[in-house]
A and B are shown apart, each in its own frame.
Chain A
Amino acid sequence: MNLFETIRVALRAILRNKTRSFLTTLGVVIGVAAVIAMVAIGEGAKAEVEKSFASMGSNLLVIMSGAHRAGGASGGSGSQLTLTWEDLEAIRTEVPSVRLAAAGLRGNAQIVSDEQNWSSQVTGTSPEFFDIRNWPTTDGALFTAVDVEAASKVVVLGQTVAARLFSVGSDPVGQMVRIDNVPFQVVGVLAKKGQSPMGQDYDDAAFVPESTFQRRIRGGLQKFIAGQVHVAATSQAGTTKAEAELRALLRDRHRLAPTAEDDFSIRNLAELASAREESTRTLTTLLASIAFVSLLVGGIGIMNIMLVSVTERTREIGLRMAVGARPRDILAQFLVEAFTLSLGGGAIGIVLGLWAAEWLSAKFQWPMQVSPDIVLLAVGFSAAVGVVFGLYPARKASKLDPIDALRYE
């Protein structure tokens, strides 16, 4: 019997018992749908992480005062000031793989406009900072080196701060705000940056010249930088080299003995990004494996029903053999039946899985990304499930003795 006839016979057998066939495939349907949905969400999360790191600046390094200890990171960094303005100058001039560097003096402050007030993070920095972070303005302009020199009372607002302080339609540029009771003129509003990989709102920030920050907002020691130094390496690939050069330079300038620990810490965001990606990949793998387990369970369901079907149709098998079916014809018939069930289940599962992923991402605002690979994989896997789990019942059927099968009650 040729393949076409075998498929026709198998299809008839499946359609003869529609409800049971549907319930049998349900396991595979759910399995495949779960794989597709889980992987789509996992891939989406990964893409989102990639995007947020890219928005941060992929060749960004952040240097902080104080030792960075694993596990106690925040306790160490910044608790004792070690970075000086002279260090910053040396970084700018002496490290070849550094393109730009800027200080970021940070403090929280109350910002008050004529209409509203809002507590936000105020950063004192220089114009290079916006270049390092690849952060342009949408309205007005950035402050300039001249403003830093003159310690001008000017401020650049993030989108969130601008939205909180000024009503829709009014132009913040040129207006006055008070930061810790010091009047500042708004010169620009920054473009929307979004969230950090840790979920912090980048746009909830205001930026003033570093000199103004030191003089008007947080005094502090004049020699040391009370914050971080942001560094842009010349390229993304150069971040590791830049990190090594910066470490060597700072250790040398701080006169640290070879055995001493660093009194500063460097965070390489490219490395952080890949670690983050690694962890989302692990999550995706985990979700997918759970989904694959349900696919496996679906396969066992198919095997179970096929075994029942073989028993139930023993007399039919006997008759087919009596009129000339060879063992391999019977094997093919049941194998194709199992294969069709699982492949059909796979097809329904793909549609259902895509729909579920769409629905979940719309409902919970989860990003999702469907790759053709995973769809192919799910189809292939469900077909394999059919063959593997169909083989045992099919072999059992083909090994039946015609007389015993005909007499089976």
Chain B
Amino acid sequence: MPLLEVVDLHKIYTMGDTEVRALDGVSLSVESGEFIAVMGSSGSGKSTLMNLLGCLDRPTSGHYVLRGERVSDLNRDELANARNRLIGFVFQGFHLLARTSALENVELPLLYAGVSGKERHRRSRKALELVGLGDRMDHHPNQMSGGQQQRVAIARAIVTEPGLLLADEPTGNLDTRNSHEIMGIFQKLSDTGMTIVLVTHESDVAAWARRIVWMRDGHVLSDEPHEPGSPVHPPPIDPGLSLGVP
């Protein structure tokens, strides 16, 4: 059984009179332990797909099964619970709580999971040590570099040991050196068996992944295995869809 499976997923936004088909029939299956990069230009629907996979949003139609549970049928409370237990999310903008120490930021998901204070501390320390911030637990976000902040965010995403890590442009706000550092951590997590799905438009970031999914106009354009480290190329373009593309 795959870790997650989406079948014929549609997401349609209505803006006034016009319908925007952000996802138009996406099907995808992810096995446990995979390291996938979802690529595509902006507006291709990759962020929408990410939000649906992250249980932050519900599809217009189609279904989504995560660890045998039909997430697309869950209510708001159950979705919150799923986000808490099954999924770790890393954002482009870090989204750390200001004026709050790294340790307390990492503890946040455990707070909503009802974990006791002592256990929260222990697990948060461990997560921070894993991302190499064992010596900065008391620092506040404004005392840290972008790369360090994103590492705190990764620690927060993995502290509940969710099994699935979703990252939406995790290096989008970082310079090359910090990007490399972050991808190194993803690589390390992947090696421990964590399933990782990340969205990016940078080829050298996607190059770390072992499977690459290209999206365009709400469809999956190609879905191929990839040798980590080898260059990433856009798929051969279907002449029918190539109009206007340079």
What 3 A-B pairs are tightest by C-beta distance, nearest first?
A324-B84, A324-B112, A323-B109
CA–CA, A319 to B80, complex, Å? 11
A325 near B: Cβ within 8 Å? yes
Residue of A12, A316, A323, A406 touching B112 (CB-CB under 8 A): A323
A321 near B: Cβ within 8 Å? yes
Q: Are A325 and B99 in contact (CB under 8 A)?
A: no
CA–CA, A322 to B51, complex, Å? 10
Give the contacts of A194-215 with B (CB-CB under 8 A).
none
CA–CA, A100 to B238, complex, Å? 120
Give the contacts of A247-298 with B (CB-CB under 8 A).
none
Q: Are B97 and A322 in contact (CB under 8 A)?
A: no
CA–CA, A42 to B26, complex, Å? 74
Which residues of the partner chain B approach A2 to less than 8 Å between Cβ atoms?
114
Residue of B77, B89, B108, B111 touching A327 (CB-CB under 8 A): B77
Which residues of the partner chain B approach A323 to less than 8 Å between Cβ atoms?
83-84, 89, 108-109, 112, 156
CA–CA, A403 to B11, complex, Å? 14
- Interface digits, B84-113 against A, CB 8 Å rule (1 contact, 0 not)? 110001010001010110000000110111
Which residues of the partner chain A approach B54 to less than 8 Å between Cβ atoms?
322
CA–CA, A403 to B79, complex, Å? 13
Q: Which residues of B contact A (CB under 8 A)?
A: 51, 54, 56-57, 76-77, 80-81, 83-85, 89, 91, 95, 97, 99-100, 108-109, 111-114, 156, 160
A16 near B: Cβ within 8 Å? yes
Q: Are B89 and A322 in contact (CB under 8 A)?
A: yes
- Interface digits, A4-36 against B, CB 8 Å rule (1 contact, 0 not)? 010001001000100000000000000000000
Provided the pairs A316-B97, A406-B91 are in contact, do residues A322 and B83 lie with their beta carbons within 8 angstroms?
yes
Which residues of the partner chain A approach B112 to less than 8 Å between Cβ atoms?
1, 320, 323-326, 329
Distance in Å from the Cβ of B71 to the closest Cβ of chain A? 14
Q: Are B85 and A315 in contact (CB under 8 A)?
A: no
Q: Are A325 and B97 in contact (CB under 8 A)?
A: no
CA–CA, A322 to B113, complex, Å? 13
Interface size on A, residues (CB 8 A): 24
Q: Are B91 and A324 in contact (CB under 8 A)?
A: no
Residue of B51, B76, B85, B113 touching A403 (CB-CB under 8 A): B51
Q: Which residues of A contact B (CB under 8 A)?
A: 1-2, 5, 9, 12, 16, 315-316, 318-329, 401-403, 406
Can you pick out 27 interface pairs between chain A and chain B where the beta carbons lie within 8 Å of each other? A1-B111, A1-B112, A1-B114, A5-B111, A12-B100, A316-B97, A318-B95, A319-B108, A321-B83, A322-B54, A322-B95, A323-B108, A323-B109, A324-B83, A324-B112, A326-B76, A326-B77, A326-B112, A327-B76, A327-B80, A328-B77, A329-B80, A329-B112, A402-B57, A403-B51, A403-B57, A406-B95
CA–CA, A322 to B79, complex, Å? 10
Which residues of the partner chain B approach A326 to less than 8 Å between Cβ atoms?
76-77, 80-81, 112
B78 to chain A: closest residue by CB? A326
Which residues of the partner chain B approach A328 to less than 8 Å between Cβ atoms?
77
Distance in Å from the Cβ of A367 to the closest Cβ of chain B? 50
Q: Are A324 and B56 in contact (CB under 8 A)?
A: no
Residue of B51, B95, B97, B109 touching A324 (CB-CB under 8 A): B109
Which residues of the partner chain B approach A318 to less than 8 Å between Cβ atoms?
95
CA–CA, A401 to B95, complex, Å? 16
Q: Are A402 and B56 in contact (CB under 8 A)?
A: yes
Apart from A1-B111, A1-B112, 5 more pairs, CB < 8 Å: A319-B95, A322-B91, A327-B76, A329-B80, A406-B56
Which residues of the partner chain A approach B89 to less than 8 Å between Cβ atoms?
322-323
CA–CA, A321 to B99, complex, Å? 19
Q: Are B114 and A324 in contact (CB under 8 A)?
A: no
Distance in Å from the Cβ of B112 to the closest Cβ of chain A? 4
CA–CA, A84 to B89, complex, Å? 102
Residue of A5, A319, A321 touching B97 (CB-CB under 8 A): A319
Q: Are B80 and A321 in contact (CB under 8 A)?
A: yes
Which residues of the partner chain A approach B113 to less than 8 Å between Cβ atoms?
324
Q: Are B81 and A324 in contact (CB under 8 A)?
A: yes
Which residues of the partner chain A approach B109 to less than 8 Å between Cβ atoms?
323-324
B88 to chain A: closest residue by CB? A323
Which residues of the partner chain A approach B80 to less than 8 Å between Cβ atoms?
321, 324-327, 329
CA–CA, A328 to B112, complex, Å? 11
Which residues of the partner chain B approach A329 to less than 8 Å between Cβ atoms?
80, 112
B76, B113, B156: residue with the most chain A Cβ atoms closer than 10 Å: B76
B54 to chain A: closest residue by CB? A322
Distance in Å from the Cβ of B205 to the closest Cβ of chain A? 21
A326 to chain B: closest residue by CB? B80
CA–CA, A406 to B93, complex, Å? 10
Which residues of the partner chain A approach B108 to less than 8 Å between Cβ atoms?
319-320, 323
A17 to chain B: closest residue by CB? B99
CA–CA, A320 to B76, complex, Å? 14
Which residues of the partner chain A approach B76 to less than 8 Å between Cβ atoms?
326-327
Distance in Å from the Cβ of A325 to the closest Cβ of chain B? 5
Which residues of the partner chain A approach B111 to less than 8 Å between Cβ atoms?
1, 5, 9
CA–CA, A403 to B112, complex, Å? 18
Distance in Å from the Cβ of B19 to the closest Cβ of chain A? 19
A323, A325, A402: residue with the most chain B Cβ atoms closer than 10 Å: A323
